[in-house]
Amino acid sequence: MSESVNVTIEAALRTGTGKSYTHKLRRAGKIPAVLLDNGKATNLELDPKLLSKAWKNGGRKFDMVLDGKTVPVKIQELQVDPVKRLALHVDLMKA
Protein backbone atom coordinates (compact mmCIF):
# COMPACT_ATOMS: atom_id res chain seq x y z
CA MET A 1 0.00 0.00 0.00
CA SER A 2 1.14 3.51 -0.70
CA GLU A 3 1.04 6.06 2.05
CA SER A 4 -1.09 9.12 1.41
CA VAL A 5 0.75 12.40 1.11
CA ASN A 6 -1.10 15.43 2.42
CA VAL A 7 -1.20 17.99 -0.39
CA THR A 8 -1.81 21.68 0.27
CA ILE A 9 -3.17 24.05 -2.38
CA GLU A 10 -2.93 27.84 -2.26
CA ALA A 11 -6.25 29.52 -3.16
CA ALA A 12 -7.03 33.16 -3.88
CA LEU A 13 -10.36 34.94 -3.66
CA ARG A 14 -11.93 35.66 -7.04
CA THR A 15 -13.44 39.13 -7.44
CA GLY A 16 -14.93 38.89 -10.92
CA THR A 17 -17.80 36.72 -12.13
CA GLY A 18 -19.31 35.74 -15.45
CA LYS A 19 -18.21 33.97 -18.61
CA SER A 20 -15.73 36.55 -19.84
CA TYR A 21 -13.95 36.69 -16.48
CA THR A 22 -13.66 32.89 -16.23
CA HIS A 23 -12.33 32.70 -19.81
CA LYS A 24 -9.64 35.25 -18.92
CA LEU A 25 -8.89 33.33 -15.73
CA ARG A 26 -8.41 30.06 -17.63
CA ARG A 27 -6.18 31.78 -20.22
CA ALA A 28 -4.07 33.05 -17.32
CA GLY A 29 -3.60 29.43 -16.18
CA LYS A 30 -6.02 29.34 -13.24
CA ILE A 31 -9.17 27.32 -12.52
CA PRO A 32 -12.34 28.95 -11.17
CA ALA A 33 -13.61 27.25 -8.03
CA VAL A 34 -16.38 27.61 -5.46
CA LEU A 35 -16.06 26.78 -1.74
CA LEU A 36 -19.41 25.73 -0.29
CA ASP A 37 -19.86 26.08 3.48
CA ASN A 38 -23.21 26.07 5.33
CA GLY A 39 -25.15 27.55 2.42
CA LYS A 40 -22.49 30.18 1.65
CA ALA A 41 -20.52 30.12 -1.60
CA THR A 42 -17.08 31.72 -1.84
CA ASN A 43 -15.58 32.27 -5.31
CA LEU A 44 -11.94 31.17 -5.59
CA GLU A 45 -9.22 30.58 -8.14
CA LEU A 46 -6.79 27.65 -7.99
CA ASP A 47 -3.63 26.46 -9.70
CA PRO A 48 -4.53 23.52 -12.00
CA LYS A 49 -1.18 21.76 -11.51
CA LEU A 50 -1.63 21.65 -7.74
CA LEU A 51 -5.24 20.52 -8.09
CA SER A 52 -4.13 17.66 -10.33
CA LYS A 53 -1.42 16.69 -7.84
CA ALA A 54 -3.91 16.74 -4.96
CA TRP A 55 -6.40 14.64 -6.95
CA LYS A 56 -3.78 12.01 -7.84
CA ASN A 57 -2.09 11.79 -4.41
CA GLY A 58 -4.79 12.39 -1.87
CA GLY A 59 -7.98 11.48 -3.65
CA ARG A 60 -10.85 13.86 -3.10
CA LYS A 61 -9.62 15.36 0.20
CA PHE A 62 -6.78 17.86 0.64
CA ASP A 63 -5.82 21.02 2.54
CA MET A 64 -6.35 24.49 1.10
CA VAL A 65 -4.67 27.69 2.29
CA LEU A 66 -7.05 30.66 2.06
CA ASP A 67 -6.17 34.03 3.62
CA GLY A 68 -3.41 32.43 5.67
CA LYS A 69 -5.69 29.77 7.18
CA THR A 70 -5.50 26.08 6.34
CA VAL A 71 -8.91 24.56 5.60
CA PRO A 72 -9.49 20.83 4.98
CA VAL A 73 -11.68 20.48 1.88
CA LYS A 74 -13.04 17.76 -0.38
CA ILE A 75 -13.97 17.89 -4.05
CA GLN A 76 -17.74 17.89 -4.48
CA GLU A 77 -17.76 18.19 -8.29
CA LEU A 78 -15.04 18.51 -10.90
CA GLN A 79 -15.89 19.62 -14.44
CA VAL A 80 -13.40 18.43 -17.06
CA ASP A 81 -13.03 19.38 -20.74
CA PRO A 82 -13.94 16.22 -22.68
CA VAL A 83 -11.29 16.70 -25.38
CA LYS A 84 -8.34 18.33 -23.62
CA ARG A 85 -8.95 16.54 -20.29
CA LEU A 86 -8.25 19.76 -18.36
CA ALA A 87 -10.19 20.90 -15.32
CA LEU A 88 -12.68 23.67 -16.14
CA HIS A 89 -14.31 24.26 -12.74
CA VAL A 90 -14.31 22.67 -9.30
CA ASP A 91 -16.79 22.78 -6.42
CA LEU A 92 -15.24 22.26 -2.98
CA MET A 93 -16.83 21.59 0.43
CA LYS A 94 -15.27 21.94 3.84
CA ALA A 95 -14.38 18.48 5.14
- Is residue 22, in this structure, part of any structural domain at all? yes
| CA atoms within a 13 Å half-sphere pointing along the CA-CB vector of 42 | 15
Q: Do 73 and 64 touch, CB atoms closer than 8 A? A: yes
Residue 51 is assigned to a structural domain of this protein? yes
Total residues found in the chain within this entry: 95
Does the residue 2 lie in any domain? no
Domain count, the chain: 1
Q: Taking the CB of residue 44, how many other CB atoms lie within 10 A of it? A: 20
Answer yes or no: is 1 within a domain: no
Task: Give this prediction's pTM.
Answer: 0.82
Type of residue numbered 50:
L
- What pLDDT, in 10s, does the model give residues 33-75? 999 998 899 999 998 888 888 777 767 788 999 999 999 999 9
6-41 per-position pLDDT tens digit: 788 999 999 888 999 999 999 999 999 999 998 899
Expressed as residue numbers, the domain containing 48 is 8-94
Choice between 53 and 79, residue whose per-residue pLDDT is larger: 79
* pLDDT at 86 (0 to 100): 86
Task: Quickly count: other Cβ atoms within 10 Å of residue 9's Cβ.
Answer: 20
d(CA 16, CA 94): 22
